[in-house]
Chain A
Amino acid sequence: MGGYGDMQMIDENGLRVDGRSPGDIREITIETGVIPVADGSCRMTWGTNEAIVAVYGPMEAHPRKIQRQDRAVLDVAYNMAPFSTTDRMRPGFNRRSREISKVTKDALESVVLLELYPRSKIRVTIEIVSAEAGTRCVGLTAASVALADAGIPMTDLVVSVASGKINDVVVCDLNKEEDNYGEADLPMGILPNSGELVFLQMDGNLSQEEFMEAWQYNMDAAQVVHEMMVEALKRGDSQ
């Protein structure tokens, strides 16, 4: 959280820098089956974010020490490609991508029926090839679509959306400028059929009322994105 409101980002009509109303999300496209050699895959664009996710497995878990006798293990890796950011990103893992990999894994393990595949491994690779703001949300959402595309049984899809605050106004789905100069960011991972959560982070400064408003924006946006995910999966299935 950078400037703490020293930059005016909501105009006199209450519109944001890219012309959206506070509750609007950016444009989204979802496509499945984009990696021919993978068992399941998804390409998702969200604003100028673009994530590509591959799912391989269930397959043999090696080395053997990672095997679990009663369930499958999920191997989740989130990575940003070197050309995904304005300044080139040095390749390789860093603390940020490790943390995002971990929380994404924790979210997906909550919905995948791992006990159906004991001693095996399911590999989920999330690659951000273009980053704007909210890449962890795009990655997690696309990963759940890719798992469904691979035919891995899950209790629900996961929709991840972030809301935040700029110039004391609560807004849904922060873009790059809003993320840089905003005062708060609340990303959530929502199960659209039950309204339950599997992923939650927050940083910044929100009052109780603002927090509830951001929470509700995320819940509402999740329903909209969920419809697009289901539609993409049905479209992919018919091909």
Chain B
Amino acid sequence: MTIPIVPKLLRAHLSELSGKNARIDGRSQWEGRKLEVEHSVLPRAEGSARVRMGDTIVLAGVKFQLMQPYPDRPNQGGLMCSADVRPIAGRHWEAGPPSPEAIELGRVVDRGIRESGCIDVDSLCIIPGEKAWQVILDLFAVSDDGNLFDAFALAGIVALRNATLPAERFEVGKDYPLPVSKTPIMCSYHKVGGRFVYDACAREELGGDERIHITLGDDGNVHSLQKGLKGIFSTEEFTEIMTNAQGRTKELRKIVDSL
């Protein structure tokens, strides 16, 4: 990823807007962009989703493989989550092995899903010590206009919830839906012009400072946190965005449940 030059004018403009309690695209501080979520959009994937937030578009695809359980956990299957942002998604993303930014994206989404316990890895075991399912969630950015984190996390959980285990193709029984018991949801906040805003667009990311990602489970419990980029924040600031995340994740979970 080439690091774009941050125009001082953009930073000054964002700071001025922030003073007037305004944002560059006309939204209020905690307002998200227009959201579209679809599932079962990829014919070759066992589960899939497409999420659009403003001009950010991502795909998620679930595939399954048979694996030998790890020796220390003979009764468990596996979950793997990887994100790739290829040059298709924006002019600053470059070809080559996954960049540190893309790896961070995949790992933060992975932790939210894994730690929520939404996938029961014990249920993925077919023959203890010999054969188990490995669930592979691949996240793919089509258009990056900011906040790929939330788009990936949302597409990921929707794709998992709509996945079917291809047992017949692997000759280990009948096909059945992947049991997903919980719905972890991520909310991301960026410091722009000296204050945190929800769901930053690309220009806010470019002219902003640090970011914080929060994943909350069904009961409001925290499952993953990540602070990214250079910047300093206070306990008060964190408490404020945590409160906002509690409300916003509930709204998003309702959307996911209604699909």
Chain A residues engaging chain B, CB cutoff 8 angstroms: 34-38, 48, 50, 52-54, 56, 59, 77, 79, 81-88, 91-92, 123, 125, 127, 129-131
Q: Are A83 and B142 in contact (CB under 8 A)?
A: no
Chief secondary structure at chain B's binding surface: mixed
Q: Are B88 and A129 in contact (CB under 8 A)?
A: no
Contact among B44, B48, B136 with A131 in the assembled complex (CB-CB below 8 Å): B44
- Write the chain B residue with the least CB distance to A55: B88
Distance of B36 from chain A, by nearest CB (Å): 13
State whether A127 and B88 are in contact (beta carbons under 8 Å apart), knowing that A81-B140, A82-B138 are contacts in the complex: yes
Over the window 43-78 of chain B, the binary record of Cβ atoms lying under 8 Å from chain A Cβ atoms (1 yes, 0 no) is 111001000000101010111010000000000000
State whether A52 and B45 are in contact (beta carbons under 8 Å apart), knowing that A37-B90, A127-B88 are contacts in the complex: no
CB-defined A-B contacts under 8 Å, sample of 26: A34-B142, A37-B89, A37-B91, A37-B202, A38-B143, A48-B43, A52-B88, A54-B87, A54-B89, A56-B91, A59-B91, A79-B86, A81-B59, A81-B138, A83-B42, A83-B48, A83-B59, A86-B44, A87-B63, A88-B63, A91-B82, A91-B98, A92-B97, A125-B86, A127-B88, A129-B59
Is B84 close to A, CB under 8 A?
A: yes
State whether A83 and B55 are in contact (beta carbons under 8 Å apart), knowing that A56-B91, A127-B86 are contacts in the complex: no
Q: Are B86 and A88 in contact (CB under 8 A)?
A: no
- Write the chain B residue with the least CB distance to A81: B140
Q: Are B63 and A123 in contact (CB under 8 A)?
A: no
Between A53, A81, A87, the greatest number of chain B beta carbons within 10 A of the residue's beta carbon is seen for: A81
Q: Are B63 and A37 in contact (CB under 8 A)?
A: no
- Write the chain B residue with the least CB distance to A85: B44
Between A53, A82, A83, A129, the greatest number of chain B beta carbons within 10 A of the residue's beta carbon is seen for: A83
Q: With a CB–CB cut-off of 8 A, which chain B residues contact A37?
A: 55, 89-91, 143-145, 202
Chain B residues engaging chain A, CB cutoff 8 angstroms: 42-45, 48, 55, 57, 59, 61-63, 65, 82, 84, 86-91, 95, 97-98, 136, 138, 140, 142-145, 169, 202
A sample of 12 more A-B contacts (CB under 8 A), given A81-B59, A82-B140, A129-B42, is A36-B145, A37-B90, A37-B145, A50-B43, A77-B95, A82-B136, A88-B136, A91-B82, A123-B87, A123-B91, A129-B140, A131-B44
Distance of B144 from chain A, by nearest CB (Å): 6
Q: Are B143 and A35 in contact (CB under 8 A)?
A: yes
Q: Are A83 and B87 in contact (CB under 8 A)?
A: no
A79 CA / B88 CA spacing, docked (Å)? 10
- Write the chain A residue with the least CB distance to B52: A36
A48 CA / B42 CA spacing, docked (Å)? 9
State whether A83 and B45 are in contact (beta carbons under 8 Å apart), knowing that A56-B91, A129-B140 are contacts in the complex: yes
Q: Are A36 and B63 in contact (CB under 8 A)?
A: no
Distance of B81 from chain A, by nearest CB (Å): 12
Distance of B34 from chain A, by nearest CB (Å): 12
A127 CA / B93 CA spacing, docked (Å)? 14
A130 CA / B169 CA spacing, docked (Å)? 18
Q: With a CB–CB cut-off of 8 A, which chain B residues contact A54?
A: 87-89
State whether A125 and B88 are in contact (beta carbons under 8 Å apart), knowing that A36-B55, A92-B97 are contacts in the complex: yes
A38 CA / B98 CA spacing, docked (Å)? 21
